Amino acid sequence: MDRKPDQIIINDEMENNQDLIKELITLLANNRWHEEDISEISETVTFAYNDPEAYLDTDEGAELTWLLEVDPEGIPAWVIFNELYDVFVVCDKIDELHEQIQEVCPEAPIPDFPYGQFPATPDYFIWLDKLLKGTPPGYQLISFGDSYGDNLQGLIVSRADTERIIHLCKQLNIKASKSMLD
């Protein structure tokens, strides 16, 4: 069966998206997931990315139909968040966020939350960034996706991978930032 040129372009784009998504998932997982899990998660995210409406018709996607009206382009980021939930930090209070960071990054010597030490939230994140940067091999807290509420939402990644993660997110039109304040 002959394929039309536009079918070839669409299939090539879908394969390229799948490669980009798998690379992104691998970097976000930061050695905390097995290759088989990463492949499975990547397939799920790729499906949601390439055909959000079909994904929402599945059992996995049924609870996200509200997102189609609110932010259809946010569906892939939400699926990534759901699939990698265990490595995300999500909270509306900065001290609780700090506790979650301590839990997901036990190798970092992060002291308890410094109550009263910082007059403003940006000062806290500058302090935290220095701590994470100094933890071998060097980590960074990035903002990822949208919590669709008042929560801060991010995850800790290898600092060496941060630029690539942000680049991949831009290519895939997924909201991400090197700062929790953006």
Please report which confidence band the pLDDT of residue 4 belongs to, taking 50, 70 and 90 as the band edges.
Answer: low
Q: What's the Cα-to-Cα distance from 93 to each of 80, 123, 152, rounded to whole Å?
A: 23, 15, 8
CA 66, 67, 69, 70: dihedral to nearest 10 degrees?
120
Residue 15: burial class (beta carbons within 10 Å; 0-12, 13-18, 19+)? exposed
Q: Tell me: the pLDDT tens digits for 125-162?
A: 999 999 999 988 899 999 998 888 888 899 999 999 99
Q: Tell me: the pLDDT tens digits for 74-99?
A: 999 999 999 999 899 999 999 999 99
Question: Is 182 within 8 Å of 143 (Cβ atoms)?
Answer: yes
105 CB-near residues (< 8 Å, 6+ apart): 132, 135, 139, 156
Q: Tell me: the pLDDT tens digits for 94-122?
A: 999 999 999 888 777 889 999 999 888 89
Question: Is 81 within 8 Å of 144 (Cβ atoms)?
Answer: yes
Which has the closest alpha carbon to 154: 164, 168, 141? Answer: 141
- Tracing tokens 């492949």 back to the chain, one arrives at 39
Q: What are phi and psi of 152, to 5 degrees?
A: -85, 140
Q: Give all strands of the β-sheet with 139-144 in edge-to-edge order.
A: 88-91, 152-158, 139-144, 176-177
How much is the pTM? 0.87
DSSP 116: T
Structure tokens at 81: 């968040």
